[in-house]
Structure 1
């Protein structure tokens, strides 16, 4: 797949413009995003993504179009799983609901920058060292096992070393000042708790990239497809956060579905690495070749099954008693924060 420099520049420019417009709107009009507004945003972004994928399919062929859709669906699914961690972070640090949208927006921007760097590095490494697919495949299978056994993702968010060091080195105010990182107290500049939240979101984005980038490289080796699939998956992430709301508490089997998908992609990468090394048979067993159509079918099928079983399970058992609701978490913190500032 040959992508000219002009196409790269145009693609990045359009995506940067979309992010800039979203950022301007979020800063200019800070507010708690309602379900209807979130639904409109998510619908428009998904529609734009589908149109882009169809255009890619038309101009480059079904192979690359299929790789884009498989990559986007996988990255979008991983992003939904990541939202569980964002819920925990925003609730743990009691971020006012009116400013959660801005926090998520900056988180998306950091994720785009980090993933862009990872994609560039990954492409350079893969082009020179084909054996790295063995490492990527093994890592994805390891991640899949962690998810399946409940030792990864949203269930065990812990403060990493960077976050602990920042909290120890930086003294923050007790209250938020809108979405500002710095405020004035008694004539002196002081950091707000928002700085700690940003560090938590940014460092978590870094961990997410370690999972998502190898996963999509297992579906396509084209840097352009890897980048655009990631970008479209991240663009509507903050609106999706508010759209799903308490529904996230009902996706109880999502981590199992993602573990199956990551394990499947990990095996696919190992099979491709073996073929690249000239290994067609292991004893009497032929090393299989998994095409993009089969990959797309498995990804969509697993997600559909786990979504249905999750909804049926939670409807039968009732909503989790201690579930975190996006609609109510930190909902009254805005008033409390403003009141404390004027005391």
Structure 2
């Protein structure tokens, strides 16, 4: 089904989203600070409400199918963006980025992510239009990514160490930060600051996540407009979400399994979609595989919501159980004095 939206809505949406992102960037540059819990909460609620309003407009101006596609795509990209935050937390801690500079670093990371995803969206849309069999590759890639997500930790010490070692061999680096500057001058000589390493690490992370997120959302919708807006809404408020969640990210131990399940599910959906419209001569003689089921948008939306809810609840329950165990262990280690020992 072709998406049929008024041209003024599509252009207006892109203009408004661009203005909001530019305003957010200017706010960070003019007033660098560590957002309070209240401030972060209000911004996250605002961006989530904005996404829901946009979804409502999609339902009214478009149709229920494409409105559902936007919701499913936005939730998928949002969950992957939260996963991205785990890596940002590790990068910030690994390179000891001062907390007062973390807003600027996050904003740069978000801009890099938007640019990379925009490029991948254009490439993906072009490939899908000309090569329908690309869905087989997208699906296989997502299933493989899901397996790696379960097997691997978020921390990849070897690759990060390699990046640092490579940069130190090729450029002069200082040990101290100079705000968010990439270069500084010491005794008349120019040096790069550790911020260069941070930006390289974040840019690499954004590239890897773009490779996962774009095939994932193309498994939900083939509309470039929905794909792009879902990505923008998922990245908006990510900076405030970073400060809002804080230490909670470390407690969401099972979140990666929920995200892996979503990626695997969408990967299977893509393969089934490719089979249904198969044109490869070495598969079923180049004929469509009619018995291959098509997974609806609403089924996708339900699975995404259920996977994230189960993973989040399971993580919080385990965090509470672990906290109780630690509390009981501490109580057992505290000396207990009986009445006789007190009299003695």
Check whether TM > 0.5: yes
Deviation at 1:159, TM superposition (A): 2.3
1:309 aligns with 2:314: yes
Q: Deviations over 1:304-335 (max 9, x none)?
A: 111111111110012999xxxxxxxxxxxxxx
- Higher-Rg member (1/2): 2
2:207 corresponds to? 206
1:288 corresponds to? 293
Deviation at 1:273, TM superposition (A): 0.3
Tell me how far apart the structure 2 counterparts of residues 83 and 18 of structure 1 sit (CA, whole Å).
21
Q: Aligned to 2:295, what secondary structure does the other structure show?
A: coil
Q: Aligned to 1:189, what secondary structure does the other structure show?
A: strand
Normalising by structure 2, report the TM-score: 0.87
1:99 aligns with 2:108: no
Q: Deviations over 1:166-206 (max 9, x none)?
A: 34322122111111222222233322111111111111100
1:13 aligns with 2:18: no
Structure 2 unaligned blocks of 5 or more: 279-286, 327-344
Q: Deviations over 1:230-265 (max 9, x none)?
A: 000001111111101111111111111111111100
Shift in alpha-carbon separation, 1:233–1:165, aligned structure 2, 3 A: same
Q: Aligned to 2:27, what secondary structure does the other structure show?
A: helix
Structure 1 unaligned blocks of 5 or more: 322-343
Say if 1:182 and 1:192, in contact at 8 Å, map to a contact too: yes
2:246 corresponds to? 245
Q: Aligned to 1:155, what secondary structure does the other structure show?
A: coil
| Structure 1, 62-71 or 171-180: larger mean CA deviation | 171-180
Aligned residues: 315
Q: Deviations over 1:100-144 (max 9, x none)?
A: 011000100010000000000000011000000000000000011
Tell me how far apart the structure 2 counterparts of residues 168 and 4 of structure 1 sit (CA, whole Å).
54
2:156 corresponds to? 156
**Structure 1 segment 261-300 matched on structure 2, within 5 A:** 261-277=262-278, 278-280=287-289, 286-300=291-305
Deviation at 1:161, TM superposition (A): 6.5
**Structure 1 segment 145-224 matched on structure 2, within 5 A:** 145-149=147-151, 151=152, 154-156=154-156, 158-159=159-160, 164-224=165-225
Deviation at 1:147, TM superposition (A): 1.4
1:122 aligns with 2:124: yes
Tell me how far apart the structure 2 counterparts of residues 114 and 160 of structure 1 sit (CA, whole Å).
24
1:52 corresponds to? 54
Shift in alpha-carbon separation, 1:12–1:176, aligned structure 2, 3 A: same
Deviation at 1:279, TM superposition (A): 3.6
| Structure 1, 53-62 or 161-170: larger mean CA deviation | 161-170
Say if 1:172 and 1:190, in contact at 8 Å, map to a contact too: yes
2:146 corresponds to? 144
Say if 2:29 and 2:104, in contact at 8 Å, map to a contact too: yes
